[in-house]
Amino acid sequence: MVSPTRIVVALLLLLTHSLAWAVKLDVTLDSNEIASGDTVNLTVTVDEQAFGRAPDFSPLKKDFEILSNRQSSQYSMVNGKITSSTSWILTLQPRAGGYLAIPPLQYGGQSSKPLKLHVTQRSQAEPVNTTDVVFLDAQVDHKEVYVQQQVIYTVRLYRRIDLHDSEYFPPKVDDAVMEPLGNKREYMSTQNGRSYVISEQRYVIFPQKSGELEISAAEITGTIFLSGNNSFLLDPFNGKQIRRKSPAVRLQVKPQPASYPADQPWLPAQSLTLRESWKPADPEFKVGEPVTRTIVIEAEGLAPSVLPPIKPPVFDNLKLYPEQAQTASNIGARGQISTRTENLAMIATAPGALELPAVEVTWWDLDEEKVKVARLPARNLEIKGARQVQQTDAPLQAPPPATETDEVPDSLNGEDNHTWQWIALVALVLWLGTLAGAAWLWRQRQAAATAQESAPTDATDRFTPAATKAARQRFEAACTGNDARGARSALIDWYRQQFHNPQLHNLHDIARQTPLPALDAALQKLDAVLYRGAKEKDWKGSELQQAVMEALSRPAQTGPQSALEPLYPA
């Protein structure tokens, strides 16, 4: 007889096993908004081979007509790990307009998340040539816009039969910037009782000049085959070459509003925000330790090229090193979303209180038709540490001066103690002997140099390509291994060889030899690791190596003047 305890344990193991192997069910739409009469593709994916099973699609029939259902399977093995999936792609025709729900679908005991689809009323500007089997249509989301405002231009190819050997020519526009917005989308639609396959391509356009703007027609060429049409009896393949054009579109571009501040860049957007981050995440400002501030401008409906730079403030006790700004764009629900990212390295040079001013960006809200300001608040800082005063790599500390309260040993007070006099006498004799020996040696060298003036020399120059290459290799190896002390020694040796200058002794001399803000900041970090208690594990040799390579790629500093501040300001 099996005990109840064993039965419970077995049931728990079976339950754990079933949960570990639960099927993952994923449901997606190729578009969250379509026009009335159009179709939408619904993709349902499970992470296993279905083997004849399928999700229950009956809940969809309430609000949709299922026009087609295609199934595909994938199977792969990578590094001994097996992955497989099965997908069903359904073409759905909405039965009504408005907001429709894709209800949860059931498969293998799992339930998908519900989705929402917006079915809008079709625009009154319908294609004229709906009796043709192939035609092009073009529309814009706004007929009246501001200069530099985003315009979404959509080209649609309608066809009731296949088009072969087609070639597409996109539209052209003057005094504007135009680029594709996403990839081509294909779906089905019903127009005036006829079913069409539609290929859709969207573009984003930014007018650069006020006045009337004309977008030329898009064009497509290809071959269609009409069997049973007597007009094509002369063609053995019953084919016909066609050329179709979309209607030209005209816009009215308005100038910048008079209420917008004249001293601010013109930014017409649907939304604009500012955000910041710090590295380290919660920085504590200390003298000589770098802190990086990252500011991101994100705008909806603007080109990334028009996002303005953030002007860094100027401080006496804080040195700033801005990096090259990075811009990017992606597709949002209402068009293009652009970002501009700026990184600003900060190194404090003196302790004390400091206020970082607020960061503000003025923009024009297209939805509310008014001026708005995105803002990061001001930040109060407290810089800790001691003021930097050294001009060499390592701080030098002089012994404290003697004061009147310092005690003098009794052994040096008595008049009868003459030991110090004997010591002074012996030191004087030794010094005179050393001076005489040095004078004799100098005369011998002068005589040897005079004798060899006219004779050829076999001495090799101390500054050689081989020595330069060896020093550089040592420097690169030290940077790769994040060896701060090795990188400093090899860098000084490399610079001596590179510039044939034996007077280069420290990092300050290197900064003066090839002045560059990025190199200045990298040497500050190296100096902080070696002499100001910074953690060596946080130091990255790659940053120093990159800064040195950039500095050496520029013309060398030949004069004593320098437009840069010194590496170690007093």
pLDDT digits (tens, 9 = 90+) for 327-374: 999 888 788 999 999 999 999 999 988 899 999 999 999 999 999 999
Nearest to 38 by CA among 65, 74, 69, 19: 65
Nearest to 188 by CA among 158, 167, 164, 225: 158
- How far, in Å, are 391, 399, 568 from residue 396 at the CA level? 10, 10, 14
- Would the pTM of this model clear 0.85, i.e. be above it? no
Measure CA of the first residue to CA of the last residue in the chain; give whole Å: 90
User: Tokens 């005036």 map to which residue?
Assistant: 192
Q: Is the dihedral of CA 52, 53, 55, 61 positive or negative?
A: positive
Which of 385 and 490 is assigned the larger pLDDT? 490
Contact by Cβ (8 Å): 294, 323? no
Which residues have CB under 8 Å from 148's CB, separation 6+?
Answer: 206, 207, 208, 266, 268, 302, 303, 306
Amino acid present at 154: T
Calpha distance 303→147 (Å, rounded) = 12
Which residues have CB under 8 Å from 322's CB, separation 6+?
Answer: 312, 342, 343, 344, 345
23-120 is classed CATH 2.60.40: yes
In this predicted structure, what is the pLDDT of residue 563? 38
Contact by Cβ (8 Å): 38, 86? no
Which of 255 and 442 is assigned the larger pLDDT? 255
What backbone phi and psi angles, to 5 degrees, belong to 430? -65, -40
Evaluate whether 23-120 and 134-254 have a shared fold.
yes
In this predicted structure, what is the pLDDT of residue 522? 87
In this predicted structure, what is the pLDDT of residue 82? 79
Contact by Cβ (8 Å): 381, 356? yes
In this predicted structure, what is the pLDDT of residue 394? 45
Calpha distance 364→268 (Å, rounded) = 5
What backbone phi and psi angles, to 5 degrees, belong to 365? -80, 110
> Where is average pLDDT lowest: 269-283, 319-333, 382-396, 397-411?
397-411
pLDDT band at 264 (very low <50, low <70, confident <90, very high): very high
Domain range summary for the chain, segments of one domain joined by +: 23-120, 134-254, 268-383, 465-552
In this predicted structure, what is the pLDDT of residue 447? 59
Cis peptide before 280 (omega within 30 of 0): yes
Contact by Cβ (8 Å): 378, 284? no
Instruction: Tell me the angle at which helices 541-552 and 517-531 cross, rounded to the nearest 10 degrees.
Output: 140
Contact by Cβ (8 Å): 383, 317? yes
Contact by Cβ (8 Å): 274, 376? yes
CATH architecture of the domain covering 134-254: Sandwich (2.60)
Calpha distance 482→476 (Å, rounded) = 10
239-244 average pLDDT score: 82
Instruction: Tell me the angle at which helices 484-499 and 541-552 cross, rounded to the nearest 10 degrees.
Output: 10
In this predicted structure, what is the pLDDT of residue 398? 40
In this predicted structure, what is the pLDDT of residue 421? 65
- How far, in Å, are 321, 369, 506, 560 from residue 513 at the CA level? 19, 55, 11, 9
Calpha distance 178→65 (Å, rounded) = 37
Residue 465 confidence (pLDDT) above 70 = yes
In this predicted structure, what is the pLDDT of residue 10? 47
Q: Is 214 exposed, middle or buried (0-12, 13-18, 19+ CB in 10 A)?
A: middle
